[in-house]
């Protein structure tokens, strides 16, 4: 009896979401015309037919997944048959397709901070990491469930109005693939407080270098942790914490002519690896 062979393209390398995958099936016909065969493809079970092809040639037939998705992961077989009633050859050995996520992660940050004044310029940056950087990305910025901007730019800048506060996230999509990933949330607060205590995303990470900057109309400022005054550079209005340790946790505020609101700073253990290219030195700005 003729044998049937199933092969996979690409032969090597990781298969990512959006990749083109081709399964080729051919009858080693030993003189029998391959063009006479019908080909059937199965996934995960020989009861689950995912494709049938009658457009065969002497080189067999193919089943192409034009844009691989995670749901295409599984074991595949093919079988050839012909005639009426059909004469079916034994199915091939299984070939496994493993589809991996295209995006390593998406992260949104706010500059100068998540706490801003009305009239101040706010920039949201959407940073996406992919396993294949050849894809062009489209970005969507979402506030409270509503898309406020869709563009090819990884930043979104606005002049803040009172109604611009709320929860924001971004989405990065591989153009033409329909594959996207969603970022974390940032909570934007519009305040009228005279002195603002602005912080990086919390919790902080042990080992990071942190610089606190306090700006106000006065020429100097003081920093407090748990109501205890800290030594700082009063001429530049900055407080550096380098490196961050667990005992840096506490309630922080700065003082110019007025006190800022207090912010609870927490510290987490240093992860084994970081998924995002975030700067290791944070600038925490206190503005009036």
Give the H/E segment covering residue 169: strand 166-174
For residues 206, 225, 120, 204, the Cα torsion angle rounded to the nearest 10 degrees is: 10
pLDDT band of residue 215 (cuts 50, 70, 90) is low
pLDDT band of residue 287 (cuts 50, 70, 90) is very low
Determine how β-strand 238-241 pairs with β-strand 209-214. antiparallel
Q: What is the pLDDT of residue 138?
A: 96
Q: Cis check for the bond before 252: say yes or no (omega within 30 of 0).
A: no
DSSP 8-state secondary structure symbol assigned to residue 57: B
Q: Which residues are bridge partners to 59 per DSSP?
A: none
Say if CB 197 and CB 204 are below 8 A apart.
no
Q: Could you tell me the CA-to-CA distances from 148 to 106, 142, 176 in Å, in that order? A: 18, 6, 21
Residue 161: both structure tokens together? 């109005």
6-51 per-position pLDDT tens digit: 899 987 788 999 999 999 998 876 555 555 788 899 999 999 999 8
130-182 per-position pLDDT tens digit: 998 888 999 999 999 999 999 999 999 999 999 999 999 999 999 888 899 99
> What pTM value is reported for the model?
0.64
User: How far is Cα 110 from Cα 113, in angstroms, rounded to an integer?
Assistant: 5
Nearest to 168 by CA among 187, 150, 147: 187
Say if CB 64 and CB 22 are below 8 A apart.
yes
Q: What is the pLDDT of residue 151?
A: 95
* R_g over Cα of the chain: 29
Q: What is the pLDDT of residue 58?
A: 67
Nearest to 95 by CA among 72, 66, 61, 68: 72
């Amino acid at each position: 009896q003729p044998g049937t062979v199933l092969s996979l393209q690409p032969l090597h390398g990781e298969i990512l979401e959006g990749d083109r995958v081709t399964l080729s099936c051919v009858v080693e016909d030993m003189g029998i015309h391959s063009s006479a065969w019908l080909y059937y493809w199965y996934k995960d079970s020989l009861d689950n037919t995912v494709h049938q092809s009658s457009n065969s040639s002497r080189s067999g037939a193919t089943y192409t997944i034009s844009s691989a998705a995670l749901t295409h992961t599984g074991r595949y077989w093919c079988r050839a048959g012909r005639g009426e009633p059909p004469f079916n050859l034994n199915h091939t050995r299984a070939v496994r397709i493993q589809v991996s996520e295209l995006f390593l992660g998406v992260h949104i940050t706010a500059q100068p901070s998540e706490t801003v004044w009305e009239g101040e310029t706010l920039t949201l940056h959407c940073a996406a990491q992919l396993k294949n950087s050849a894809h062009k990305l489209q970005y969507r910025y979402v506030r409270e469930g509503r898309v406020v901007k869709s563009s090819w730019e990884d930043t979104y800048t606005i002049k803040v109005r009172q109604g611009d506060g709320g929860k924001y996230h971004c989405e990065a999509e591989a153009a033409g693939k329909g594959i996207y990933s969603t970022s974390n949330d940032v909570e934007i607060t519009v305040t009228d407080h005279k002195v603002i205590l602005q912080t990086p995303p919390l919790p902080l990470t042990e080992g990071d270098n942190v610089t606190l900057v306090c700006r106000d109309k006065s020429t100097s400022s003081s920093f407090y942790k748990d109501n205890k005054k800290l030594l700082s550079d009063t001429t530049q209005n900055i407080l550096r914490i380098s490196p961050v340790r667990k005992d840096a946790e506490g309630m922080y505020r700065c003082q110019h002519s007025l006190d800022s609101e207090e912010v609870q700073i927490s510290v987490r253990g240093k992860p084994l690896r970081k998924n995002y290219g975030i700067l290791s030195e944070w600038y925490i700005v206190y503005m009036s």
